[in-house]
Amino acid sequence: MIKILFYIPVLFGCLTVQSQNNKTNSPLTAGNVTLTDHDGNQYKLANGLCAFLLPKNPIPNGENSLAPIQNIIYKDGKYGNDGEPVYIKNDSRNPVYPVTIKTSIQKQTSDEIIIKTRYTFNRPAFTYDDVKGKPGTEAGPAEIISTVQLKRGWKSALIEFEGNYDFYFDLPFNTGLDLNQARYNGFNSSSVEEGREPDGKQYRAAHERKKMDATIDIDNYKDKEYPRLHLWDPHGAATDTGHYWQFYNKEGKNNNLFGVYAGRTSKAEGARQCGAKLIMRKGQPHIRIFLSRRGDDASWHPRKCFEIGLFVSTKKT
């Protein structure tokens, strides 16, 4: 049985990322929370149950400015990302690059480490007709801040994003996973293919079934963008997605497992059109983490904040 734990309850610019091709750490063993040097240009944030790589002393580098998460390391020591640099991006038609990037350690003890990374931009005016002229659409200075928290005993890290500018980045996680199946906990699915119950029938509305996850098969040869992670909603009406996702290979009982889930509701501010979602691209799965000030319902929030958790474990545990 695959489980994801919520109340227990990711990674950080712009130096060259050395390839982790076929690279494996020693298996992790639970212990203190540590922050150590990794390959000279990255931090390794770990607690013996999960580990993440963060850029060390990042600098702006145009389209090659590193995102605040670069890699995950599974409990057996395998990397999720096989050396692909992860860059922070925004509007692909008129990209704007970071002016400054600063990483600072907010707290460092054997029980907890908190790291903050702040990006600044010279933001252009936002000119969509349905929001033009609203507060926050004008050109000017902007920022994106990510805050990572890892504690002793957690199998996941919490990462908070806030800012008054749009961004996204795509984090690969499949090298130590070999994804072919996923599960989510939501309201219902639009078809059997987009979510099924254990007996194979379509994932029914929550009031028509017992509490359970929906299962979907992942076609690694098909490019696809899945619905975004469902952040807080008092009605809980998430179709074809849920409040958490789990990714794994269905063969074997103790394979690695990666998950993403909605963080604390108290951190959500204007949390529409932001969060995380699965992207299948060129045969490889990525988690896209993103923020857009304009919602898909034409709502506008000049500044947004949300929190997600990245969960690293095995199917058995």
Domain ranges of the chain: 34-314
The answer to whether the beta carbons of residues 190 and 240 sit under 8 Å apart is yes
Predicted pLDDT of residue 5: 38
CA distances from 237 to 58, 185, 281, 310, 313 (A): 40, 11, 27, 23, 28
Predicted pLDDT of residue 148: 97
Q: Which residues contact 279 (CB under 8 A, 6 or more apart)?
A: 170, 224, 225, 226, 285, 286, 287, 288
The answer to whether the beta carbons of residues 271 and 241 sit under 8 Å apart is no
The answer to whether the beta carbons of residues 121 and 100 sit under 8 Å apart is no
Q: Count the neighbouring beta carbons within 10 Å of the beta carbon of residue 62.
A: 10
Q: Chunked in runs of 10, what are the mean pLDDT values of the chain (317 residues)?
A: 38 34 59 92 94 93 96 93 92 88 96 97 90 92 97 96 96 94 95 97 96 94 91 76 95 91 91 92 92 90 96 86
Buried b (16+ CB within 10 A) or exposed e, 92-110: eeeebbbeebebeeeeeee
CA distances from 149 to 57, 152, 236 (A): 18, 10, 26
Distance CA 67, CA 169 (A): 7
Predicted pLDDT of residue 14: 29
Predicted pLDDT of residue 139: 95
| Amino acid (one-letter) located at 205 | A
- Answer whether CATH 2.30.30 is correct for domain 34-314: no
Predicted TM-score (pTM) of this structure = 0.88
Predicted pLDDT of residue 78: 93
Q: Is the dihedral of CA 315, 38, 169, 237 positive or negative?
A: positive
